[in-house]
Structure 1
Amino acid sequence: MSNSNSSKLTLIPVMIAFFTMGFVDLVGAVSNNMQEDFGLSDSAANFFPSLVFFWFLIFSVPTGMLMNKIGRKKTVLLSIIITTLAVFLPLFDSFMPTKESQLWLMYISFSLLGIGNAIMQTSINPLVTMLVKGHLASTLTFGQFVKAIASFIAPLIAAWGATTTAPIFGLSWRILFLLFFVVGMIATLWLGMTSIEEEPIEGKASGFVDC
């Protein structure tokens, strides 16, 4: 197999990683459902999107430092694992004894979703840059298109789950988390099994003081 074809095949799991990056937009898709289920006020419901994006402030700089130590692929893989765990936790909220404990589970889930997405946003572009020698701009643009697909279908799946007359496993709108969990597992396994030879990272990542 030529290097060109091998590179194109390597990009497939990376594009699935871009899809998992779009999981973060499910927060807006399920906020109304959560507000109704948990009896939240408008301000409490609006806190969830803020909770997700707060983690960009905390983890963007450490991710650059981590990427220098463990490599681009492992950093992206870590972000997918955290994101997959984030969409896995809400599937178990029915086992929590109280509404308050269920709500705290969602807080943890959305925090992990924000952490995973912050790591992903910081590390996936350098990985693509390393894999693609030409057509970098178009490849990154296509990756954002793939991400947008996840953002687009999230509210559709949540609405379907909430209104269907035959809810799967009684999950209702939480069926969105189950479907995204399956995709996350596929992305984790596929990228983990994909061999990527990384070029040594030159220089030193900027730390907090430098930034």
Structure 2
Amino acid sequence: MSKNIKLTIIPVMLCFFAMGFVDLVGIASNYVKEDLALNDSTANIFPSLVFFWFLIFSVPTGMLMNKIGRKKTVLLSLIVTIVSLLLPIFGETFTIMLISFSLLGIGNALMQTSLNPLVSEVIGGSHLASTLTFGQFVKAIASFMAPYIAMWGAMATIPSFGLGWRVLFPIYMFIGVLASLLLGVTSIKEEKIDGKPSTFSECLKLLGKPIVLLSFLGIICHVGIDVGTNTTAPKILMERVGMTLNDAAFATSLYFIFRTIGCLTGSYFLRVIKSKTFFLISITMMALSMVGMFIGDSKIELYVAIALVGYGNSNVFSIIFSQALLSVPDKKNEVSGLMIMGLFGGTIFPLLMGFASDAVGQVGAVAIMAIGVIYLFTYIKNVKQ
């Protein structure tokens, strides 16, 4: 890797860290549920609302990139994210949190749609999947730090300035500002778009390509399981083992710790073994995890199950995304928008899981996630190499 590429990749990877801010919604929704005395169905509105905006903004963001470029779109996403992190500093009312999580979702939709193609401008070809996976590793660091910062703030083990668990918002906001400044001064040469930019309907027509549609559904399942585990893991421990929320918050961190390990090791494995083989191993781990979360009744069993889904789910996005991106190389922006629209799975799954858990307990939520794992097994045949 040349020195210029190394200097460019640093601010890009810091943007991946900022992309991980969206995962604070899992632990945040649990604290908001407790503070505002909400039931599961109502509390799950927060993660669902965050990912709802991916349905609305992803494809238009792909079109926006064609007009203003990928770097400027990433910068816009960072600004929206910074504003979303500013609001909770002023209070924790239901309305403030709804607006904050909505802006967080909008900013993340802009970022995920534009940042992944921006990486392809810096690192392309056969190394794209492993580089995207390393980006997911950096993103996962922000994800697993969030529950710890919230927990420490809630327990007053760090100065929280009267914010309690909400101290994580100004901390992440500062990092978001830093990412904006560094990316703003970094020069990235972007390829010119040949011909007339695609319209909204032309973007959606790409779903007519089987690999694009199947990849879109795969992203829905991956994100549904990701957000579902992020939100539900502490609840399972509270229900089965009788842990308090502050103690059970470790489950969310455990999930992201193993996602981080998975991303780090995955960026190596994807260079030395076939993507299809590694994808099969990953989905098998996720299936074993669903069994563990379904029948496990001890802390150790549930921790193992959470670790398995964390590692197994860590590379699914990168593999599916790269398969879709490389399948239509002349429409990267449009395909990226469609794939990120699949993050709408983070809305569908938590809503269904909330209703299922209110009806039959957390085992119902696990059953919903298991459906997503079953679909990912069917996707294996579409992974090339």
Q: Partners of 1:180 and 1:20 in 2: how far apart?
A: 8
SS of equivalent to 2:200: coil
Using the alignment, how far apart are the partners of 1:151 and 1:109 within structure 2? Answer: 17
Corresponding residue for residue 81 of structure 1: 79
Closer/same/farther in 2, CA of residues 137 and 166 from structure 1, 3 Å limit: closer
Structure-1 separation of matches of 2:48 and 2:66? 29
Match of 2:101 among 77, 93, 110: 110
In structure 2, stretches of 5+ residues that fail to align are 205-385
Return the offset for 1:202.
2.6
> What is the one-letter code of the residue matched to 1:192?
G
Change over 3 Å in CA distance of 1:132–1:166 after alignment to 2: closer
Query: Partners in 1 of 2:194 and 2:27 — Cα distance?
Result: 41
* Mapped contact 2:152–2:158 kept (Cα < 8 A): no
Deviations 1:58-100 (A, max 9, x none): 0111001100000010011111111111111111127xxxxxx
Distance 1:202 1:120 in 2: 23
Query: Does the 8 A contact of 1:82 with 1:112 survive in 2?
Result: yes
Corresponding residue for residue 270 of structure 2 = none
Q: How many angstroms apart in 1 are the aligned matches of 2:158 and 2:174?
A: 20
Q: What is the aligned partner in structure 1 of residue 201 from structure 2?
A: 209
2-structure distance, mates of 1:18, 1:178: 18
1:186 aligns with 2:178: yes
Query: What's the CA shift for 1:208?
Result: 2.8
- 1:30 equivalent in structure 2: 28
The counterpart of 1:145, out of the listed 115, 137, 148, is 137
Residues 202 and 43 from structure 1, CA distance in 2 versus in 1: closer, same or farther, beyond 3 angstroms?
Answer: same
| 1:164 paired residue number | 156
The one-letter amino acid paired with 1:110 is F
> Residues 121 and 189 of structure 2 are in contact (CA less than 8 Å); yes or no, is this contact kept in structure 1?
no
> 3-state SS of the aligned residue for 2:187?
coil
Contact kept, 8 Å, 2:46 with 2:98, in 1: the verdict is yes
2:128 to 129, 136, 145: 136
Give the one of 89, 92, 96 matched to 2:90: 92
Aligned residue pairs, count = 202
Code of the residue aligned with 1:109 in structure 2: it is: S
**Equivalent-residue separation in structure 2 for 1:123 and 1:104 (angstroms):** 29
Once superposed, what is the RMSD of the aligned Cα atoms?
A: 1.7
Q: TM-score, normalised by structure 2?
A: 0.50
Cα deviation, residue 40, structure 1: 2.2
The amino acid that maps onto 1:115 is: I
Work out whether residues 13 and 138 of structure 2, in 8 Å CA contact, stay in contact via their aligned partners in 1. Answer: yes
Instruction: Choose between structure 1 and 2 for higher RCO, CA contacts under 8 A separated by at least 6 residues.
Output: 1
Distance 2:141 2:26 in 1: 15
Question: Who is 2:14 aligned against?
Answer: 16
**Structure 1: 5+ residue stretches without partners:** 95-101
Q: CA deviation at 1:176?
A: 0.8
Residue type at the aligned position of 1:88: L
Give 1:39 deviation, angstroms.
2.4
Deviations 1:151-184 (A, max 9, x none): 1111111111101256421111001101100110
Report the identity percentage: 66
CA distance in 2, matches of 1:183, 1:120: 15
Supply the distance in 1 between the matched residues of 2:134 and 2:67 (Cα, whole angstroms).
28
